């Protein structure tokens, strides 16, 4: 069940009030909980699952640092991004112009379907108030 709340905004052209849905704050599911859930459904121990995920995290970071995109099957892909200041010419653009490095995640088409409003398995719950 995806929880959402209705929030007020303003139409930038007319200034009129508009209302739109926004995902509500959620409970965080931590690695330990996921490892316990997975180990309950297979023969791998929670400790082994934590070790594998920890190694996976390290490898993803290393590949992103090397400028590679990392595709994780049905989950999606991680790709490094940069934010920079503009330069008046290519010759004046240096690594000092780069201000931040980020990561962009693109979900796979399978995940996109499983999390689409058209998927009958996806349900919503409106949360009112704070």
Over residues 9-56, the pLDDT tens digits come to: 999 999 999 999 999 988 899 999 999 999 999 999 999 999 999 999
Q: Give the pLDDT of residue 26.
A: 85
Q: 33-59: buried (b, 16+ CB within 10 Å) or exposed (e) per residue?
A: eebeebbeeeeeebeebbeeeeeeeee
Average pLDDT value for the chain? 94
Tell whether 84 and 105 lie within a shared domain. yes
Question: Tens digit of pLDDT for each residue in 46-84?
Answer: 999 999 999 999 999 999 999 999 999 999 999 999 999
Q: Give the pLDDT of residue 39.
A: 95
> Is residue 18 in a domain?
no
pLDDT band at 130 (very low <50, low <70, confident <90, very high): low
Tell whether 62 and 73 lie within a shared domain. no
What is the count of structural domains for the chain? 2
Rounded to two decimals, the pTM is 0.77
Structural domain span for residue 51: 29-68
Tell whether 52 and 77 lie within a shared domain. no
């Amino acid at each position: 069940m995806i929880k959402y709340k209705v929030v007020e905004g303003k139409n930038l052209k007319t200034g009129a009030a508009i209302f739109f849905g926004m995902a509500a704050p959620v409970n965080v599911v931590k690695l330990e909980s996921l490892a316990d859930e997975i180990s309950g459904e297979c023969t791998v121990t929670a400790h082994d699952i934590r070790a594998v995920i920890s190694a996976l995290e390290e490898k993803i970071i290393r590949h992103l640092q090397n400028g590679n995109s990392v595709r994780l099957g049905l989950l999606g892909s991680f790709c490094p991004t940069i934010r920079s200041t503009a330069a008046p010419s290519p010759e004046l653009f240096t690594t000092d112009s780069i201000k931040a490095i980020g990561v962009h995640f693109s979900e796979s088409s399978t995940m996109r379907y499983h999390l689409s409003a058209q998927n009958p398995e996806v349900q919503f719950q409106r949360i009112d108030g704070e």
